[in-house]
Structure formats: C-alpha cells, structure tokens
Structure 1
C-alpha cells in the first residue's frame, strides 16, 4: 500500500479530531479549534504539492471548524484562503468561498474588506465566467460599500466598471446615470477632474446607442454648464459631430469623425463596440426619400 502524503496524513488527523467525542476535560470549542489548525496545516501541505482543489477543500473544512468554535475573523480568513486555492482551478468554487467570507466580514462590520472581496467576485464573473450581469451586480455592491466607508476613488472605479457593463448589456439609461454619478463625484478634485470628459463621452455615446439624439444634445449642454472647459475638449466636439451625423443619417461624416478621433486618442474596445452599434443604426435607419 503506497504511503500517504504529508498533506493526506494531516487531513486524516484533522478529520479524526473534528469527529472525535470530547473528553471530560476539553470543550467542543477547543476540539474544533484544534481541528481547524490541523485542516489549515493540511491545506498548506496540499499547496506545496500543487493540489489546489484539495487545499481549497481543507481550508473550507477549517472555516467550518472556526465557525463552530465561534471564531468569526478566523473563519473569514479561512474562506478567503479557500477562495485563493479554488481560483487556480475552479472559479465558481472561488465565488462560493468568497461569498462565505463576505458574510462573516459584513457581520463583523468590516465593510471595506467585504467590498474588496465583492470586487474580486466581480472580476471572476467578468474575466473567468463571462457573466456580465453578475459582474455588474458585484461591482455595484462593492461600490456601495466603498462609498459608505469613504473610499470614494475605489467606489468610483467600481461604479465606472458597472457602467461599462450596463452599456455592454444595452442597459443604456442605467449606464448614463452611473457615468454621470462618477463624473459628478470626480469634478471637485484636481486629481480626478481630468477624467470627467471621458465619463461624459461614454455617457453621450450611450445616448446615441439608444438612438436618442435629443438626450445626447441636452446632456452636452448640461455637461458644458457643469464644467465650462468641457465645451472646447476634443471629446465634446467629437460628440457634437456624431450627433449631427446621426440626425442627418450621414454614415460618411460619422466614419470620418471616428477615424480622426482615433488618430489622436486610440479608441478602446468598449468605445469601438458602441460606435459600431451606433453606425449600424444609421445604416439601418429608413432613408429620407
């Protein structure tokens, strides 16, 4: 019979401890504390062997022992360690473990850390599981928690990610209100003021993607009154030309404006995609006979 690996031996020891009956002199909570320590050691040993599923499972069992011995902080940490191991092999298990971590953190009023973990979930949904809807919800939840902890810059970054995803999901009205919220939050700081024109550009493109040139024009005027320097920016002029081109059903002018803008400021994927949608809507608009 092959000999057991150190990790497997520690796991057996932990299982035995967790399932043992408590003697005269030890309490159940001591038993689970000790079992938790053994599961943690087993998890670390599995990591050395690069067995990440087994490591994650051992941390999850450690977490359950911490819960039974009422160690909330340790349980939150154990679930987070489980998530880090699972992340290497199974993103959906990582999300489950992170959700457990968040439950403990919010119970303890540690909303800043809960927001960090919720943002991590959003990134897994976006990058690994390709679930834009759930990613968007996670970024918004994280942003709300960051806001209540006064971590404004981090909150704005999450709201902006959520806005991008609303637009990808063609929920343009929600996207616009998020971009405007982030822009308003950035107007008063010298550090973030420069990025406001970017949020307003994105918001304007969303209005055009809805085929709503009236809102696009009204918003341009509104943004210009919120920041008088906006009117003279390349972004504002670009939107102005696009609005006219959409209203006139003029694909050539639209395409030329996009090309010219891209020469100076490289268009990212998000803008390229939404501009293609807008162009397609001009192409498909009934011609004026």
Structure 2
C-alpha cells in the first residue's frame, strides 16, 4: 500500500480536528482555528505537489473554519487563496471562491479589494469561459466600486473594457454610453486628454454599427463642441468620411477611407470587426435607385 503524501496526512489531521467534539477545556473557537491552520498547511503542501484542485479544496475548508470562528479577514484571504489554486484548470470553482471573498470584503467595507477580485472574475469569464455578457457585468461592478473609492482612473479602465465587450455582442448603445463616460472624465486631465479621440472614434463606429449615420453625425458634432481640437484629428476625419460613405451607400468610398486610415494607424481586431459589421450594413441596404 503506497504511503500517504505529506499533504494527505495534513488533510486527514485537519478533517479529524474539524470533526472532533473538542475537549472539556477547549473552546470551539480554538478547534476551528487549529483545523483552519491544518487545512492551510495541507493546501500549501498540495500546491507543492501541483495538485491544484486538492489545494483549492483545502483552502475552501480553511475558509469555512475561519468563518466558524468569525475570522472574517482570514476567511476572505483563504477563499482568495482557494480561487488562485482553482484558476489552474477549474474556472467555475475559482469564480465561486472569488464570490465568497467579495462577500466578506464588501461586508467589511473593503470595496477597493472587492473591485480587484471582481475584475479577476471578469477576466476568468473572458479568458476561460468565453462568457462576454457575464464579463461585462463584472467589469462594470468593479468599475462602480473603484469609482466610489475615488479610484476613478481604475474605474474608467474597467468601464472601457466593458464598453469594448458590449460592442462585441452588438450592444452598441451601452458601449457608446460607457465610451462617452470615460471620455468625459479623460477631458478633465492633461494626462488623459490625449486618449479621448480614441474613445470618441470607438463611439462613432458603434453608432454606425447601429445603422444610424444621422445619430453618428450628431454625436460627432457633440464631441466637437466638447473639445475644439477634435475635428482636426485623424480619428474625427476618419469617422466623418465613413458617415458620408454610409449615407451615400458607397461601399468603395467606405473601403477607401478604411484603407487610408489603416496605412498610418494600424486597425486592431476590435475596430476591424466593427468596420466589417458597418460595411455589411451598407451592402445589405436596398438601393434607392
């Protein structure tokens, strides 16, 4: 019979302690504290063996022990350690563990840390689960928590990520609202003002993707009143050329504007995908002639 690994031995000791009735002279709190310590040691031992599911399970049990003796901060930390272990191949369990962490953090008013963990959930939804809508929700929740803790720049990074994702799933109105929100904030600082033209470019492309060039032009005029330098930028000229092409139903002019812009500023995947949607809309419009 193969000998038990150090991790298994520690886990058995932890289980025994957690299931014990406690002696005459020991409080139930001390029982849970000792069991929690043993589960933590077992979890770290499993990590050394690269058994991440087992490590996550032990950190989860540790967290439950910490909860049993009202050690809220330690419980939050144990759930987070569980999530980090589960991230190695068990994304659904990682999300559950992060949810427990967030519950403890928000209860104790630690919204900045809760936002960090919520952002982690968003990244798991994108990278591991390909669930863009759920990722949107997580990034927006994280953004709201960062904003209320006065971490406005970090909040805006989350809103911008949410906007990109909304556009990917054709929720263009939601994307525009978030790009405009981030642009409004960015206008208030010399450091971030340079990035405004890109947010407005993306908002303009989203407006065109809704099939409403009139609204797109109205938005571009609004942005020009917010920043007098915007109309002279390559981004503004590009969107206005696209609006003209869409209103004229001119696919060649549209393609020409895209090629010209791409020669100087390489289009990324996000912009390429949305431009293809706009182009398809022009091609599908019935001809007036």
Q: TM-score, normalised by structure 1?
A: 0.99
How do 1:103-122 residues align onto structure 2 when only pairs under 5 Å count? 103-122=103-122
What CA distance in whole angstroms lies between the structure 1 residues aligned with 2:117 and 2:155?
13
What CA distance in whole angstroms lies between the structure 2 residues aligned with 1:8 and 1:127?
32
Q: After superposition, what is the alpha-carbon deviation per residue over 1:246-271, rounded to whole angstroms, capped at 9, x for unaligned? A: 00000001001101111111111110
> Secondary structure of 1:109's partner?
coil
Aligned position for 2:282: 282
What CA distance in whole angstroms lies between the structure 2 residues aligned with 1:212 and 1:29?
64
Deviation at 1:287, TM superposition (A): 1.0
Aligned position for 2:155: 155
What CA distance in whole angstroms lies between the structure 1 residues aligned with 2:53 and 2:89?
7
What CA distance in whole angstroms lies between the structure 2 residues aligned with 1:125 and 1:95?
9
How do 1:1-289 residues align onto structure 2 when only pairs under 5 Å count? 1-289=1-289
RMSD: 0.5
Deviation at 1:191, TM superposition (A): 1.0
Deviation at 1:205, TM superposition (A): 0.5
Deviation at 1:102, TM superposition (A): 0.2
What CA distance in whole angstroms lies between the structure 1 residues aligned with 2:149 and 2:184?
19
Moved more, 6-15 or 170-179: 170-179
What CA distance in whole angstroms lies between the structure 1 residues aligned with 2:250 and 2:48?
62
Q: Which runs of 5+ in 1 are unaligned?
A: none
Moved more, 103-112 or 166-175: 166-175
List structure 1 segments (4+ residues) > 2 angstroms apart after TM superposition: none
Q: After superposition, what is the alpha-carbon deviation per residue over 1:231-256, rounded to whole angstroms, capped at 9, x for unaligned? A: 10000000110000000000001001
Q: After superposition, what is the alpha-carbon deviation per residue over 1:57-115, rounded to whole angstroms, capped at 9, x for unaligned? A: 00000000000010000000000000000001211111010000000000010000000
Q: TM-score, normalised by structure 2?
A: 0.99
What CA distance in whole angstroms lies between the structure 2 residues aligned with 1:133 and 1:35?
39
What CA distance in whole angstroms lies between the structure 2 residues aligned with 1:60 and 1:138?
22
Deviation at 1:50, TM superposition (A): 0.4
In the comparison of the two structures, how many residue pairs are matched?
289
